[in-house]
Amino acid sequence: MTTVKVVRWVALGVLAALVVFTIVAAAGSRTEPLRRLVVETLTERLDSDVSLEAFSVDTFPTVVVSGQGLVIRHRTQEASQAPLISIASFTVHCNVMDMLRRPRRFRTVTLEGLVVNIPPGGLKIRRGGSDGPAAGRPATELTPPPAPSAADQAAAREENDGESPIIVDELLANDAMLRIIPRRADKRPKEFAIRSLRMQSLGLGQQMPFTASLTNPIPRGEIETSGTFGPWRKREPGSTPVAGDYSFQNADLGTIKGIGGILNSTGSFGGELNRIAVRGKTDTADFHIDTAGHPMQLTTTFDAIVDGTDGDTYLNAVDAKLRNTGILAKGAVVGTKGVKGRTIKLDVEIKDGRIEDLLWLAVKGDEPLMVGRVGLKTDFLLPPGEPEVVERLQLDGRFDVDAAKFTDDEIQKKLSGMSQRAQGKGPDVRDQNVVSDLGGSFRLRNANLALSNLSFSMPGALVRLNGSYGLRSEAIDFAGTVRMDASVSEAAGKGGFKGMLLKMVDPIFRKQGAGAVIPIKVGGNRDKPEFGLDVGGIFKKK
């Protein structure tokens, strides 16, 4: 997806150079008039202010065209902004006979110091078939741009096809830079270091093979890509074809606040700039969230549509596996006008996973708090911003756990004892696995997990709770009820005078056809949870 963005903007720099070569081929070798013609033509065709420091043409024994200090500043840019395109120097080689043929042919073109600066908000590129919103699509719009009709595609081909006035056999650019300028002056630009770029058979009406090696800034990693670009659709750039394969290796997720791991990805892409189908897979052997710090293997395969004119991505299907838990997702990664960064909005579903995998990812501790089979559905929203991922992440969903069991012996003993008393058998702790049918709704905001309608059953009792858990603080704050088959006196197993006193209070707790409904509260933290009677809830009406 990043590869598509890089190809698009670097192509602008290459096309600017291509215009220069076309002028040279048509006008001959008169240096100063030719230099003025180059500047005037680029100014008109690119709607830009253009300067060229030095320019020369040698015609013996071979034709060598060279220039220095080519700077192109779009007219929408302020003078204080970095220019859209700058090329420190360029050199063109060809034979005299190549200049006399049609199409005219340049053998090699070398660009040094190619820098493409994308201004805040980018530059508007027309989308195939319309002037639709190239950027700033609301984050709630999850529909990719429509595929162009057969008539639109035929019109684009007819408009652009035909013999190119020139052909460049090979273009080389080393140590180029694609720089995305932020809106805020105090923020550093995002830089894509293009170590090498090689394009072949360049022509204004040509399909152009390319290979490139570059460094992606966030997450930081190395990209190798190859494919074809073009022919360039001059009236509808969004309909320009692009296709290829990529490899994204050793991407350090630690460059994104709040998560970590080394990601590797491979895939392919193809289509038109405003609707590129991307299919690929990723493998992160040690994915983790900082709140827990537990490394886990995360693999994904994905099928997406990328709008290369604005970078928005529409995820048709993501099939992920987190250790032993399969995760299905679909949604979009889109920009919002006036907001830096992109919003990730997904629908996520787990049909038959393991609760311990999810807890191990998100919660601290030497082992997960609970094990069992889990099913889950949630809305997933990650808006852009500076705070770490866990602070920005928003979840709204519901989960159900079958055959749940707490891994902490003390918690399990307390629950087992509660089950025995709820059946009127006294505090016998012989039964160990007593929890089943755990479920509830959850809502995550600002690293605080709110749980509502949380319930779980055990022999003799049904527990209902509402409350919250702090992913960073690990603080527990829950209140609810325990519904028991046994009455209070039966659960206590007391005889004599104490038993008589407890029987006197049985009516207070006997509600809703149960032997007793006792209000409880759970506090403390993950390491030392505290269970107690909620005295204030005893006389509340249910």
- In 389-435 the beta strands, taken as DSSP E runs, fall at 394-406
* Nearest CA-CA partner of 274 in 8, 84, 6: 8
Whether 326 shows a pLDDT value over 70: the answer reads yes
* Nearest CA-CA partner of 529 in 467, 478, 476: 476
Q: Which of 134-148, 157-171, 367-381 has the lowest mean pLDDT?
A: 134-148
Cα 534 to Cα 450, 463, 470, 488, 540: the distances in Å are 20, 14, 21, 15, 11
* Nearest CA-CA partner of 125 in 1, 310, 277, 334: 310
Whether 132 shows a pLDDT value over 70: the answer reads no
For the ranges 46-60, 223-237, 391-405, 408-422, the maximum mean pLDDT occurs at 391-405
Q: Identify the pLDDT of residue 413.
A: 79
Lookup: tokens for 166: 């020139």
* Predicted confidence (pLDDT) per residue in 106-122, tens digit: 789 899 999 988 776 55
- Give the pLDDT band (50/70/90) at residue 149: low
Whether 204 shows a pLDDT value over 60: the answer reads yes
What is the arithmetic mean of pLDDT over 271-292? 89
What is the arithmetic mean of pLDDT over 238-245? 84
Q: Does residue 387 have a cis peptide bond before it, meaning omega lies within 30 degrees of 0? A: no
For the ranges 233-237, 276-280, 526-530, the maximum mean pLDDT occurs at 276-280
Q: 489 vs 148, which has greater pLDDT?
A: 489
CA-CA distance, 260 to 63, in Å (whole number)?
A: 53
Q: Identify the pLDDT of residue 118.
A: 76
Q: Identify the pLDDT of residue 11.
A: 62
Q: 535 vs 80, which has greater pLDDT?
A: 80
What is the arithmetic mean of pLDDT over 223-250? 84
Whether 202 shows a pLDDT value over 60: the answer reads yes
Q: 411 vs 220, which has greater pLDDT?
A: 220
Q: Which of 67-71, 88-92, 225-229, 340-344 has the lowest mean pLDDT?
A: 340-344
What is the arithmetic mean of pLDDT over 488-498? 71
Q: Identify the pLDDT of residue 139.
A: 40
What is the arithmetic mean of pLDDT over 496-514? 75
Residue 121 burial (CB < 10 Å; 0-12/13-18/19+)? Answer: middle
Q: Identify the pLDDT of residue 447.
A: 92
Q: Which of 25-39, 264-278, 398-412, 430-444 has the lowest mean pLDDT?
A: 25-39
Q: Which of 180-184, 361-365, 484-488 has the lowest mean pLDDT?
A: 180-184
Q: What is the pTM for the complete model shown?
A: 0.76
- Using an 8 Å Cβ cutoff, are 477 and 467 in contact? yes
CA-CA distance, 457 to 460, in Å (whole number)?
A: 8
Q: Can you tell me which residue has the tokens 């692009």?
A: 242
Whether 161 shows a pLDDT value over 80: the answer reads no
* Predicted confidence (pLDDT) per residue in 462-480, tens digit: 999 999 999 888 899 999 9
The bridge status of strand 516-524 relative to strand 476-484 is: antiparallel
Q: Identify the pLDDT of residue 542.
A: 46
CA-CA distance, 328 to 375, in Å (whole number)?
A: 12
Percent of the chain with pLDDT over 70: 75
> Cα-flanking dihedrals φ and ψ of residue 384, to 5°?
-70, 165
Lookup: tokens for 10: 């670097």
Q: Can you tell me which residue has the tokens 């215009």?
A: 19
Whether 130 shows a pLDDT value over 60: the answer reads no
Percent of the chain with pLDDT over 90: 30
Q: Identify the pLDDT of residue 187.
A: 66
Q: In whole numbers, what is the pLDDT of the chain averaged over residues?
A: 80
What is the arithmetic mean of pLDDT over 324-336? 90
Whether 154 shows a pLDDT value over 80: the answer reads no
What is the arithmetic mean of pLDDT over 515-533? 85
Q: Identify the pLDDT of residue 467.
A: 96
- Give the pLDDT band (50/70/90) at residue 65: confident
Q: What DSSP assignment string belongs to 288-329?
A: EETTT---EEEEEEEEEEE-TTT--EEEEEEEEEETTEEEEE
Whether 61 shows a pLDDT value over 50: the answer reads yes
Q: 273 vs 170, which has greater pLDDT?
A: 170
Q: Identify the pLDDT of residue 310.
A: 67
The bridge status of strand 166-180 relative to strand 104-118 is: parallel
